[in-house]
Structure 1
Amino acid sequence: MFIDGLSVPARSGRRMTVTDPTTGQAFETVPLGGSEDADAAIVSAMRTFEGWKRVPMTERARLQKACAQAMRENAESIGAVLQRELGRPLAGCVSEIARSADLLDIYAEEGLRLRAAMPLGSAPGERIVITRDPVGVVVAITPFNYPITLLMFKLGAALIAGCPVVAKPSEETPLSTLMLARLFHDTGLPAGLFNVVTGDRALGEALVAHPVPRKVAFTGSVPAGKAIAAACAGTMKRVTLELGGHSAAIVCADADLDRAAAAITRHGFANSGQFCYRVNRVYIERPVYDAMLERLAAGAKALTLAPAGGQGDLGPLVNDRIFANSESQIADARAKGARILTGGTRATGPGYDAGCYLPPTLIAEATPEMLIMQDETFGPVIGLAPVDSPAEALRLTNESRFGLAGFVFTRDLATGLALCEGIEAGSVWLNDIRRSSHHVPFGGMKESGLGREKGRYGVESYLEYKTMYLSWEEAL
């Protein structure tokens, strides 16, 4: 682990394995931390907090920008480690490092734009100052799918706000986070400002239950997020929770079908479907249903799997548990009468047998009772359903406990705006799908989470308002 500027073992001496998803073989071990390790990391962070919160914003921004540049300069080496533990093709891993560095820069710039306020309505001999204080030590718990990006969502905002971070990466992808902590320390971050502890769920529970941290920032599943929120209530910790998604796309009869199919295919199958705001289900108006299916199938079939040691567009799913969810949703759809348009069965053969490879899968004639239209998949599977009107599509989109993202395709601007405003989700795209911007808020409604990350909105979530009433005897 990385605590107080040093690489340290777990107090228990125990370790856990890290597996290459393309081969199924363990290739490294990391410490299996427990409550004593959680305490050591938090105590280190608390010591550092006393000094870091007094560091001028300009110096915090300078250090953060230096760390961002160090990420760019080491993107290939960090990306190679990430590729080994995640299984995603190398180009995507290197791109993740570079894009995450951009977010660090943006957070640094947002920090420089923070302001205090002095209202003019004070009484004679009094001034009121409204300022912002850092919340304190932050626990950041991140998943495997975009481990560096989702860590930067939290770390970049916390550091510039004046908060030290204790990070617990996913058990599947701890190595890239550990590498990053060492890199940032060597770049100049003070010891204890960014600690990394590795372990399983028990370690996460110890971090959340600890009385010192004042905030927990978590990206992961809905059940885990609910458990964290309940545990944080005991000590009134703040929470930012970016949880599951089951995002729907609506394709109207007048849409540019080629553009819609390209966007849905690109977004729905990126990272083998292993991210929260991907297209999970699509509602298509009947007059263009068959034509849209034809285009989507052509796009899905054009994507290639990257075998162990080989090249391709998509890697394997990270482990058997994640694969099993896709498998069960496909089986459920088959049993309930759906048509498997593409994919649907595990890829086998040389280079594939040892990994959880699933070709891009499209499920046509999906109906509301099917799991694919109800629950997050986190795999390369998309449900497709015909609808009779945009209003029906909107109703079905919102009949979900999730509300992370939505997507609309129509040439009619009035219809598009009405659908975008009507979708109950934190982010909505019209007529294209691109990655979420670093400058604007990102997060979900309903069971997709609490709070927002990115841009000034992310920084503000690590600050407390403080009102100071300053009085003196009038001199004149």
Structure 2
Amino acid sequence: MEMFIDGSWRAGQSGARMEIFSPVTGAVVDTVPLGDAADADVAVASAARAMESWKRLPMAERVALQKKLAQAMRDNADAVGKVLNAELGRPLAACIGEISRSADLLDVYAEEGLRLQATMSLGQGAGEKTIVTRDPVGVVVAITPFNYPITLLMFKLGAALIAGCTVVAKPAEDTPLSTLMLAEIFHAAGLPAGVFNVVTGDGRGIGAALIEHPVPRKVAFTGGTAAGKAIAAAATGTLKRLTLELGGQSAAIVCADADLDKATTAIARHGFANTGQFCYRVNRVFVERPVYEDFLVRLTEKAGKLTLQPEGGSGDLGPLVNEKIFANSALQSDDARARGARILLGGARVTGPGYDGGFYFPPTIIADATQDMAVMTEETFGPVLGIAPVDSAAEALALANASRYGLAGFVFSGDLARGLTLAEGLEAGSVWLNDIHRSSHYVPFGGMKESGLGREKGRYGVESYLEYKTMYLSYEVPE
């Protein structure tokens, strides 16, 4: 594939290309341009031209078009899902589901656009009015990761388009194909040329060029904390607005009076979904001692039923996307084992026919984890859970908060008052009590501390792409 700029496919100006590999087989799936600063200039110029008319399009028309784009996603979910399956390795049904659920978010943002309002103060004197309105922030650079490339793009694109912004997206090096395909689908559905552009390349090349470019007024990024800090530092040169959804090392607290069946079902489901490759998964669990061993038995049994999908076969989980992501799971498992933890499940790469071509790591449960182990302090981004016993819920809360991250938290308690107290005490942007659902499209999503800046989804997401403008009006009052 080529880059998609100004409504058409465009080769990179340097001619350099990069290969996209299947995580399942290791074979080359396709190639895309390895873009550079020259390509960034072309894409940004296209977005800036398109914004002059896009921001003036009446909100009702933008809403109608966005709903049309959402339907186009649903109509093409199978085709885009197959491409996503090829580049990400996640089982096909889950890839198709990502496309459909992402379309729902476009609809939510469209609905929020209809609720945006200007206000007029009633405090002025005769012949004076003050109106507070909202303007689109400007051209937006959207930088997305590999793990949920379409969902996390829609977090940004859906809000930006409704706000009146145009977008230049740079997908992750591992998974650009589905985003490129979606850009063509959106253009065919009626999105004007230049409103949504997709460039390809690496972060240090075209990514840095986009962030440092003087024209874009906002960067929306989902990815690792180190990269987010570098983006924030680079964006200060032009005072770009930022939305950063960064790393997580989310903790679950399981009280002695919790429903252990519900807790272990939720944690097994959420901790290992997408082979652990998402930011707000359960990463570490603190369990009160009276139910610690029972919890471990139940969780190990449920996680042990999850299967890996080999090449040409079926299963619940795919491989990790590349060697770098795989290394986190392997290193954290080895570190815990060396420091005296019990590995109750998994803990080593799966090999053999159907598995040798990819980086397959099974669901892994590390018992008796301690705070000197990497699994309890650093993001894993893989299917590894660290479990530690605690003497009280207060101790669990203190340990959960003793982290530089603050993306999500989870509490299980049969006592509602205690559960709510713990949920309120967790230093995290989202907290679940007594079950773990998908994050809602209607409420804010984002992190505290080093897990990021700003919020996405719902009206909160749209507002982050708007600037307040105050207009002071004066007129002669008729006699």
Q: State TM-score, norm by structure 1.
A: 1.00
Partner of 1:160: 162
How far apart are 1:25 and its partner, in Å? 1.1
After superposition, give the CA deviation of every residue in 1:357-386 in whole Å (9 maximum; x if it has no partner): 011000000000100000000000000000
CA separation in 2, counterparts of 1:113 and 1:259? 38
Q: How does 1:31-430 map to 2 (within 5 A)?
A: 31-201=33-203, 202-430=205-433
1:124, CA displacement in angstroms? Answer: 1.3
1:17-37: CA deviation from partner (whole Å, max 9, x where unpaired): 000000011121011110000
State the 1:473 CA deviation.
1.3
Paired residue type of 2:350: A
- For residues 228 and 20 of structure 1, what CA distance do their matches in structure 2 show? 28
Residue ranges of structure 1 left out of the alignment (5+ in a row): none
Alpha-carbon distance between aligned partners in 2 of 1:309 and 1:147, rounded to the nearest angstrom: 23
Which residue identity is paired with 1:340? I
2:450 counterpart residue number: 447
Looking at structure 2, the residues matched to 119 and 264 of structure 1 have their Cα atoms a distance apart, in angstroms, of: 49
Q: Distance in 1 between matches of 2:110 and 2:41?
A: 29
Residue in 2 that maps onto 1:30: 32
Secondary structure in 2 matching 1:46? helix
Aligned to 1:458: 461
Match of 2:304, SS state, is helix
What whole-Å deviation, never above 9, does each CA across 1:37-94 have from its counterpart, x for those lacking one? 0000000000001100100000000010000000001100000000000000001000
Q: Deviations over 1:290-348 (max 9, x none)?
A: 00000000011100000012110000000000000111101110111000010001111
Q: Distance in 1 between matches of 2:264 and 2:73?
A: 34
- Structure 2 residue aligned with 1:473: 476
Shift of 1:474: 1.3
Structure 2 unaligned regions, length at least 5: none
CA distance in 1, matches of 2:5, 2:74: 24
Distance 1:122 1:165 in 2: 38
- Matched residue, 1:13: 15
SS at match of 2:437: coil
C-alpha separation in 2, matches of 1:22 and 1:419: 41
Cα separation, 2, equivalents of 1:15 and 1:241: 28
Question: 4+ runs of 1 displaced by more than 4 Å?
Answer: none
Q: Which one-letter code corresponds to 1:48 in the other structure? A: A
Quote the Cα distance in structure 1 between the aligned partners of 2:136 and 2:80. Answer: 30
Deviation at 1:258, TM superposition (A): 0.3
CA distance in 1, matches of 2:82, 2:453: 33
TM-score by length of 2: 0.99
Q: Following the alignment from structure 2 to structure 1, what is the Cα–Cα distance between the partners of residues 312 and 98?
A: 20
Mapped partners of 2:401, 2:468: distance in 1: 35
1:402: Cα distance to partner? 0.1
CA RMSD of aligned residues (A): 0.4
Distance (whole Å) between structure 2 residues aligned to residue 27 and residue 458 of structure 1: 34
**1:122 offset after TM fit, Å?**
1.1
Partner SS for 1:438: coil
Deviation at 1:232, TM superposition (A): 0.6
Rounded to whole Å, the distance in 1 between the matches of 2:131 and 2:50 is: 27
Instruction: Give the 3-state SS of the residue equivalent to 2:308 in structure 1.
Output: coil
C-alpha separation between the residues in 1 aligned to 2:391 and 2:274? 32
Q: Could you report, residue by residue, the CA deviation over 1:131-186 in whole angstroms, capped at 9, with x for unpaired residues?
A: 00000000000000000000000000000000000000001000000000000000
Counterpart CA distance in 2 for 1:369 and 1:447 is 20
Q: Distance in 2 between matches of 1:345 and 1:373?
A: 18
One-letter amino acid of the counterpart of residue 441, structure 1: P
Amino acid at match of 1:304: T
| Secondary structure at the counterpart of residue 128 of structure 1 | strand
Q: Distance in 2 between matches of 1:326 and 1:8?
A: 38
* Separation in 2, partners of 1:259, 1:14: 52
**1:457 and 1:426 mapped to 2: Cα distance?**
13
Structure 2 Cα separation of the partners of residues 411 and 285 of structure 1:
13
Looking at structure 2, the residues matched to 354 and 6 of structure 1 have their Cα atoms a distance apart, in angstroms, of: 35
